[in-house]
Structure 1
């Protein structure tokens, strides 16, 4: 073979390397997460996520305008309500914080795609993603009663102007229940981005600071997936597709690129990778200490997600990535 075949021949010039590059990250790949809180003029930095803020609706609108001007096509909204209760009222009430933020953003930046996280953990007083069995301190959520709350939440979010519903609670049958609720409310064209393979991960820690959604007892292992399992993810996506999912998500992303690849190979639907809070914060901490080149590490990671098959990447790095691409 050698010296006839010399792969280095195609690496000799920057432009040549660019010409034969197999994958590329563009701003069209990106979705930027935002956290909405009640009040006005609020921009509270999340201590464990440098550069990420809890924002009041007026600040969310400002951020949405900046995101759109950077060429990022979409945001995903999470909400922190003023009050929490066992019924997750803030999730499905017409005046819920995500509903207010959605309407404000769509009024100010109508061409920006607004994805809404459709879950209950930020809104329940116990921090779990649905109804709990009475007196159960293990965190076991009652599946079917929770589906009714998710239906109400999705319809309220659609009424507020959301472009995509993204259920993340990993309840059995949640895609079907939400699809039925949306269709019954005449939102048949509303797409569902299902958190189809969401793992019970230690990488979520900083997010729970940002969303103020840590469970008050127990954990979420009775409904989120075991990190040891891969084939189970294919079962989950098969069920969600059958129930009407339009797009699929794998969360987290960095330690689950094999799952992204397997999901992409198993379906012809768009696949999203969520570059979660812990992944973001580790990079930020190392960069702030001068241990790594932040831009190079982030862009290499994004290329890894694309190479593994991701069509969309939800990432807190999105604005920086857009600026780096433009530069």
Structure 2
């Protein structure tokens, strides 16, 4: 059966992309298939492009500090910031230098910070990740005490920095055990919210992680805490510098058994739909630079 293609000038495609799946399995419809767009000459898109002022006023996307989130790495036991060789301009912070950096970013209008903790103690189940005195929780409290509501403080929620094997969950029979890991994620989320995190960001790509985190937050009185889900976190070599910064590289194997496969577009859409259904308030694609068009 032949498919008739038509041109879509604003996307540059000859055929519309595949429709996103709905949770019931039936395909969704793209906005242009609903007939909502008036035709020429009633609708003239160039009207909104005529002057620099009009283009700025009606820009759908803008790039300014208020749209940015800065990743910050804080390492237990440091007395001062230590430069990260693989990430020029970035440091592993002490608690004191972390707060100073957070204040400077807030004064520059940056919307938020995403905090990654690097502990001294690591074990098989990452117990410091949900300790009240773990480095992430200490950092979150320090930032909120300094910044209050001037900046959104986001906590990365994972185990790779805290486990001695460097994987994002509990190891059983040589692999990451999904469901036992979810229980730990819930404990981490509650600890991070207790410490003042505005947003928790589960990044381990475990099946059901958003639902587990949402239930744990609601059960511990944190129903207002936002979940920013790593809905499509692709397996990628681009994480190399980050793994040095967070000291969370896997000690055996890799993470392809749970991170997203770059070649699968429909699977990424299903992952995103599942996260929304489980209670995610916002979604993330990572690494964004090379994968937003996947």
In the TM superposition, residue 52 of structure 1 has moved relative to its aligned partner by 0.6
Post-superposition shift, 1:257?
A: 2.1
Structure 2 counterpart of 1:48: 86
- Is the counterpart of residue 150 in structure 1 residue 188 in structure 2? no
Contact 2:77 2:120 in 1 (8 A): no
Q: 1:39: Cα distance to partner?
A: 2.5
Name the counterpart of 2:207: 172
Gaps in structure 1 of 5+ consecutive residues: 1-6, 260-327
The question of whether the paired residues in 2 share the 8 Å contact of 1:35 and 1:53 is answered with yes
Taking structure 1 as the reference length, what is the TM-score of the superposition? Answer: 0.72
User: Partner of 1:269 in structure 2?
Assistant: none
How far the C-alpha of 1:67 sits from its partner, in A, is 0.6
Q: Is the 8 A contact 2:234 2:261 kept in 1?
A: yes
In the aligned structure 2, how far is the partner of 1:61 from the partner of 1:19?
Answer: 35
Match of 2:249 among 210, 214, 217: 214
Gap change, CA 1:222 and 1:51, over 3 Å in 2: same
4+ residue runs over 6 A deviation: 13-17
Q: TM-score when scaled to structure 2? A: 0.80
Instruction: Map 1:225-304 onto structure 2 (within 5 A).
Output: 225-259=260-294
Give the 3 Å change call, closer, same or farther, for CA 19–87 of structure 1 in structure 2. Answer: closer
- In structure 2, the residue matched to 1:185 is 220
1:24 Cα deviation after fit: 2.4
Unaligned runs of 5+ in 2: 1-45
Q: Is 1:224 aligned to 2:224, yes or no?
A: no
- The residue that corresponds to 1:27 in the other structure is 65
Task: Give the corresponding residue for 1:85.
Answer: 123
CA RMSD, Structure 1 to Structure 2 (Å)? 1.8
Query: 1:43, CA displacement in angstroms?
Result: 0.8
Higher RCO (CA 8 Å, separation ≥ 6 residues)? 1
Structure 1 position 125, deviation (Å): 0.1
Structure 2 vs 1, CA of residues 74 and 16 (structure 1 numbering), >3 Å: closer, same or farther? Answer: closer
> Which residue in the other structure is 1:95 paired with?
133
Q: Is the 8 A contact 1:40 1:58 kept in 2?
A: no
CA distance in 1: counterparts of 2:134 and 2:60, whole angstroms:
44
How far off is 1:101 after superposition? 0.4
Distance change in 2, residues 1:237/1:23 (3 Å)? closer
Whether 2:197 is the aligned partner of 1:159: answer no
TM superposition shift of 1:90: 1.4
Q: Distance in 2 between the 1:48 and 1:72 partners? A: 23
Is 1:115 paired with 2:150? no
**CA distance in 1: counterparts of 2:217 and 2:101, whole angstroms:** 29
Kindly indicate which of the two structures has a greater share of residues assigned to helix. Answer: 1
How far did 1:25 drift?
1.1
Residues 313-324 of structure 1 correspond to what in structure 2 (within 5 A)?
Answer: none
Hey, what does 2:8 align to over in structure 1? none
Residue 110 and residue 18 in structure 1: after superposition, are their counterparts in 2 closer, same or farther (change >3 A)? closer
SS at match of 1:123: coil
Report Cα offsets for 1:39-90 as digits up to 9, x if no partner. Answer: 2532111111100100011110000100100011210000100110002011
